[in-house]
Amino acid sequence: MLIAGNWKMFKGPAETLEFFDRFEAPDGVEVVICPPFVSLEAAVGEEWTIYAQNVHWASEGAFTGEISAGMLVELGVQGAIVGHSERRHWFGETDETVNLRCHAALEAGLSVIACVGETETEREAGATDAVLRLQVAAIPQHENLVIAYEPVWAIGTGKTATPEIAEEAHALIKSLHPTRVLYGGSVKPDNAAELLAQRNVDGALVGGASLDPESFAAICRAAVA
């Protein structure tokens, strides 16, 4: 099981070090932490696997505010999230740019968590299947890439897909792409065990619950169980 914590725009370097002082995970679970860019250097000095929250497709250039794969490798970062729903919604990420970012990261030797998922409007319109097929088609196949299914209507809303909804979506994604698939969408200690018990769920991409070391550790324990 792979359990990744996406800290989003939380925790500077000092808070990052405080988190690692308190965080303990059981054996038997693969743990990835994704701090904001300013905290990556502090995080890579710890014992855990560290991913960035995004990566640009160009090796260098006039791309203000962006970070290249080579920069992340030089820093000691081991991977990156690509195509998170918040990047798609707030910053215009598209299937095309997700593809470019994935290729750049993989070619530089980084691992990738590539995100897919439908909005509430798309689900209510019965378009979940079509949306996932289009998004997954844009993601390259590579041994160092996993996909995270994150129903957009369950990101930061407190809503969570039922285990049955998650299982159905994961089974579809795996029929299209031969990789591990993580569930992301309001994963918490009290629902993690049921979600992670589904046959096609290979782990979780955790948002808010990953900010607290005890909460995140509880989810990691659920993955082992």
Question: Which comes out higher in pLDDT, residue 156 or 169?
Answer: 169
Q: Report the alpha-carbon distance of residue 9 to residue 32 in Å, rounded.
A: 17
* CATH entry 3.20.20.70 includes domain 2-224: yes
| Mean pLDDT rounded to a whole number for the chain | 96
Residue 141 reports pLDDT greater than 90 = yes
**Residue whose tokens read 């995140």:** 216
Q: Where are the domains of the chain?
A: 2-224
Output the pLDDT for position 159: 78
**What tens digit of pLDDT does each residue of 182-204 get?**
999 889 999 999 999 999 999 99
Residue 156 reports pLDDT greater than 80 = no
**What tens digit of pLDDT does each residue of 95-118 get?**
999 999 999 999 999 999 999 999
Contact 52, 79 (CB under 8 A): yes
Token representation of residue 103? 């290729």
Q: Report the alpha-carbon distance of residue 217 to residue 225 in Å, rounded.
A: 12
Q: How many CB atoms lie within 10 A of CB 122?
A: 18
Q: Report the alpha-carbon distance of residue 45 to residue 68 in Å, rounded.
A: 20
Active site residues: 84, 150
Average pLDDT of span 76-105? 97
Output the pLDDT for position 158: 73
